[in-house]
């Protein structure tokens, strides 16, 4: 979705107060609300008010604000619901199951035996040589990101 399409974005409409949602936290830059189809009791979304497509399009200053809001909501969930754990999930791109193309952080309170279950696939260790090669490629990618002055 391009910036001009943000007028049709369901999360933009919520952030602008033009669509109803159960809002649990607001700041000048972010809003947190309960999704229509929660994974668990207390599942909450934190979104920037400004339309940002995904994590890769987020600017540094907005990243700081988004994480501060996310942390505040996480503490609120812990106080209110006393979960045994919490998953913080961001999906960027359709391959990662992003369905609303407005950046959002899922805060998913967790309890032993909840309906979410284990989110990690079975363990399959990576061979040492493959892990070393992968680490080298990722380090190089990070160096390129730094040279390109991408947000940090």
Return the CATH number at 32. 3.30.428.10
The pLDDT score that the predictor gives to residue 47 is: 98
| 74: pLDDT strictly greater than 50 | yes
Q: Tell me how crowded residue 73 is: count the other CB atoms within 10 A of its CB.
A: 21
Write out pLDDT tens, residues 3-23. 446 778 999 999 999 999 999
Task: For CA atoms 112, 96, 14, 63, give the dihedral sign.
Answer: positive
The pLDDT score that the predictor gives to residue 122 is: 87
Is 55 inside a domain boundary?
yes
The pLDDT score that the predictor gives to residue 5 is: 61
Is 12 inside a domain boundary?
yes
Domain that holds residue 30: 3-120
Write out pLDDT tens, residues 112-133. 999 998 989 889 999 999 999 9
Domain count, the chain: 1
Q: Tell me how crowded residue 122 is: count the other CB atoms within 10 A of its CB.
A: 5
Is 149 inside a domain boundary?
no
Q: Cα torsion at 105, 107, 108, 110 (round to 10°)? A: 140
């Amino acid at each position: 979705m391009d910036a001009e399409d943000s007028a049709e974005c369901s999360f933009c409409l919520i952030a602008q107060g033009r669509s109803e949602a159960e809002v649990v936290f607001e700041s000048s830059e972010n809003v947190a609300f309960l999704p229509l189809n929660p994974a668990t009791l207390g599942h909450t979304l934190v979104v920037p008010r400004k339309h940002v497509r995904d994590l890769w399009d987020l600017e540094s200053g907005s990243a700081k604000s988004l994480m501060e809001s996310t942390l505040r909501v996480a503490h609120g969930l812990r106080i209110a619901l006393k979960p045994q754990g919490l998953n913080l999930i961001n999906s960027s791109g359709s391959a990662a199951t992003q369905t609303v193309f407005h950046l959002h952080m899922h805060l998913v309170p967790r309890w032993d035996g909840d309906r979410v279950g284990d989110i990690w696939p079975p363990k399959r260790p990576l061979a040492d040589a493959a892990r070393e090669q992968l680490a080298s490629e990722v380090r190089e990618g990070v160096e390129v990101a730094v040279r390109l002055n991408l947000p940090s």
